[in-house]
């Protein structure tokens, strides 16, 4: 049984980690941290976990965390980069669900996140945790940067086309929608029920922090320059995400449906849906699956890719556990085969 620590256990991604790991046959959460809720039991904060954990939130020392085999950072940016290096030096594997190690260009990271990076060596070492793309690197990694939610949905939808030179990489559009849980659990007036319900709006149009992460990921699969317009939207639901992607086709002779089916034929957690199908966010609610459909409307020169995930699951916590399984030499789908919740 592997001993697992979670730093930042009171946010939505921390709650998801606890929920999934409660039934994991080879992982035991031994430390759950929170300064604000220190001393409270897990069940006091998350009544759905009552009976699953005999744990209380604490502020653990490095010595205590060093007893873990792996530690998750479910924290805002700026936390993991200051604490992870010491854990790595003590032999603990680390998965950061935040943004500290996702972007390799630390000057670019500083521009988007408003602070200087303090762990340059660790940024260089970190493996980007998109298992369907970086599985073998993840297997050898000490430090994994778990992808953001929008970048997960977007890259899984675009990489097969970029890799095979099917679309023009200089003219990409991603129109994405997310439930309000993507904004986190903290008090925030725009996320209040009366503010977000029965409402639909764009945000981050001039620039969103996930833009450089998506561009960086796509650039790994082409020598051409990526030109991307990315517009996220907030929709009045709790969880779920759809990225609708548009590209200009370079080779109209390719059967795009067959291309996607072949690309992901061995990927348990990526479901390429039958031709003409429309994926729904509710079909992946609470699950680690990404469902993808591809279209070429009117047999024209545009391809449309629809990619749906649960932003808290495949877009965060269940993908982090998928990475954990790979890093610890476990079966990749262990503890992650639960299906989406409908209704």
CATH number at 320 reads 3.40.50.720
Cα(51)–Cα(146) distance, integer angstroms: 29
Same domain, 134 and 157: no
CATH of the domain at 197: 3.30.360.10
Is 288 part of any domain? Answer: yes
CA-nearest of 189, 4, 220 to 104 is 220
Domain for residue 256, yes or no?
yes
pTM above threshold 0.95? yes
Active site residue: 38, 149, 194, 290, which one? 149
Average pLDDT of the segment spanning 57-67: 96
CB 38 within 8 A of CB 67: no
> If you average pLDDT over residues 99-127, what whole number do you get?
97
Indicate whether 241 and 103 sit together in one domain. no
Cα-only R_g, the chain: 20
Are 91 and 216 in the same domain? no
Residue 338 maps to a domain = no
Residue 68 falls in the annotated catalytic set: no
Domain that holds residue 305: 150-309
Query: Are 166 and 279 members of one domain?
Result: yes
Number of domains making up the chain? 2
Check residue 195 and give its pLDDT: 86
Q: How many residues does the chain have?
A: 343
Is the confidence at residue 44, as pLDDT, over 80? yes
Cβ–Cβ < 8 Å for 125, 143: yes
| 141 and 154 both lie in a single domain | no
State whether 178 and 205 are in the same domain.
yes
Reading the block at residue 156, the tokens are 């899984």
What integer is the mean pLDDT of 247-258?
96
Q: Is residue 154 part of a domain?
A: yes
Q: Is residue 21 domain-shared with residue 101, that is, in the same domain?
A: yes
Same domain, 298 and 155: yes
Mean pLDDT score, 200-205:
94
- Output the pLDDT for position 28: 98
Residues 200 and 305 in one domain: yes
Residue 342 in any domain: the answer is no
- The answer to whether residues 36 and 157 belong to one domain is no
73 three-class SS? strand
Least confident of 192-201, 265-274, 314-323: 192-201
Give SS3 for 88: helix
Q: Does residue 192 sit within a domain? A: yes
pLDDT of residue 343: 84
Kindly state whether residues 112 and 252 are assigned to the same domain: no
Share of the chain above pLDDT 90, in %: 93
Where does the pLDDT of residue 182 fall: very low under 50, low under 70, confident under 90, or very high at 90 and above? confident
pLDDT of residue 84: 98
CB atoms within 10 A of CB 260: 22
């Amino acid at each position: 049984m592997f001993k697992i620590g979670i730093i930042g256990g009171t946010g939505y991604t921390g709650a998801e980690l606890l929920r999934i790991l409660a039934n994991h046959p080879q992982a035991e959460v031994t430390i759950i941290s929170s300064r604000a809720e220190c001393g409270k039991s897990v069940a006091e904060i998350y009544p759905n976990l009552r009976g699953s954990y005999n744990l209380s939130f604490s502020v653990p020392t490095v010595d205590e965390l060093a007893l873990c085999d792996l530690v998750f950072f479910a924290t805002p940016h700026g936390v993991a980069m200051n604490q992870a290096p010491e854990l790595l030096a003590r032999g603990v594997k680390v998965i950061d669900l935040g943004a500290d190690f996702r972007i390799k260009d630390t000057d670019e990271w500083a521009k988007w996140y408003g602070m200087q990076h303090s762990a340059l060596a660790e940024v260089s070492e970190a493996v980007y945790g998109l298992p369907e793309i970086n599985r073998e690197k993840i297997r050898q990694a000490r430090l994994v940067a778990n992808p953001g939610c929008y970048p997960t949905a977007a890259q899984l939808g675009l990489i097969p086309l970029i890799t095979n030179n099917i679309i023009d990489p200089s003219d990409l559009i991603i129109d994405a929608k997310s439930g309000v849980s993507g904004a986190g659990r903290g008090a925030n007036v725009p996320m209040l029920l009366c503010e977000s319900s029965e409402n639909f709006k764009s945000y981050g149009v001039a620039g969103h922090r996930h833009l450089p992460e998506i561009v960086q990921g796509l650039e790994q699969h082409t020598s051409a320059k990526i030109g991307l317009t990315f517009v996220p939207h907030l929709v009045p639901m709790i969880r779920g995400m759809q990225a609708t992607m548009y590209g200009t086709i370079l080779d109209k002779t390719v059967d795009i449906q067959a291309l996607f089916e072949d690309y992901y034929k061995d990927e348990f957690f990526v479901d390429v849906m039958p031709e003409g199908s429309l994926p729904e966010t509710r079909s992946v609610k609470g699950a680690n699956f990404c469902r993808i459909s591809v279209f070429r409307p009117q047999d024209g020169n545009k391809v449309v890719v629809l990619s749906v995930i649960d932003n808290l699951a495949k877009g965060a916590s269940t993908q982090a556990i998928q990475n954990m399984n790979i890093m610890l030499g476990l079966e990749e789908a262990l503890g992650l085969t639960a299906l989406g919740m409908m209704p």
